[in-house]
Amino acid sequence: VPNYGPLAAVYVAEELGYYKQFGVQAEITAYRGGAAANQALAAGEADLIDFFPPGVALAVKKGVKERIVSPGSIAADSWHLVVLKDSPIKSVKDLAGRKVGITAKGSTTDFFALWAAKKGGGEIQTVPVGAPGLIPALKGRQVDAVSMHSPLPLQLIAAGEGRSIVDYGKEIGPSLPDVWVASQAIIDQRPKALEGALRAIFKATRYLKENRAYALKYLKNFTKEIDDKVILLEYETAIMGRT
């Protein structure tokens, strides 16, 4: 998705020339979410995407030729289920019958919201609004809660406008919230290009971890976030938690 901090390394790899170093010419595309990215992979419009294991399983079950080739992150750090500060919802047990905003059906936010509902023992209605629509939908009270990826929940929490009722990273534990997924075609036909792309991304991730000042400055520009506290939280959780 656009401006998603944990994937800043994909763009940093281009800025620092790492793709070229590993013999790859990369074309980077941002989609509305993991489900949309997976559709592009299935259609041959993308070779390598960031997605969620259950989504990959569903795609493979439907006959899509793809495979998980590497973890992206181990735990869902900075992923939260958020309600407004004045919401009567205090825990997942209060979610029954409520509307929960997600990016898209079959997305990571969808799976996590359904996990939270199951934990609470009730059914919810998930409402796809796209990543840019999550905060407006919550503030406009079109939904009762939102299942969110960073830095969006950090924005609401830092501003005191929202409360987290589920910290997915802590509640679920190690869960591989995102993994790198390649089409079987690129695995079979261009394995060196696939390896080069992954090496470039991992090298850029390491650079961000080891160069805090650069990372904070880059994240602020990349995510369009103006609150330095949010950027710092994003760095300390989402970036430092990357593999």
Q: What is the 3-state secondary structure (H, E, C) of 188-236?
A: HHCHHHHHHHHHHHHHHHHHHHHCHHHHHHHHHHHHCCCCHHHHHHHHH
**DSSP 8-state symbol, 75:** S
The pLDDT score that the predictor gives to residue 152 is 86
**DSSP 8-state symbol, 28:** -
| 238 token code pair | 């989402």
Tens digit of each residue's pLDDT, the chain (243 residues):
778 888 999 999 999 999 999 999 999 999 888 888 999 999 999 999 999 999 999 999 999 999 999 999 988 888 999 999 999 999 999 999 999 999 988 888 998 999 999 999 999 999 999 888 999 999 999 999 999 988 889 889 888 999 999 999 899 988 888 999 999 999 999 999 999 999 999 999 999 999 999 999 999 999 888 889 889 988 998 899 888
Bridge partners for 68 per DSSP: 181
Does the pTM of the predicted model rise above 0.85?
A: no
Cα angle at 89 between 88 and 94, to 5 degrees? 125
Bridge partners for 66 per DSSP: 183
Do residues 206 and 243 touch, judged by C-beta distance below 8 A? no
d(CA 200, CA 14): 8
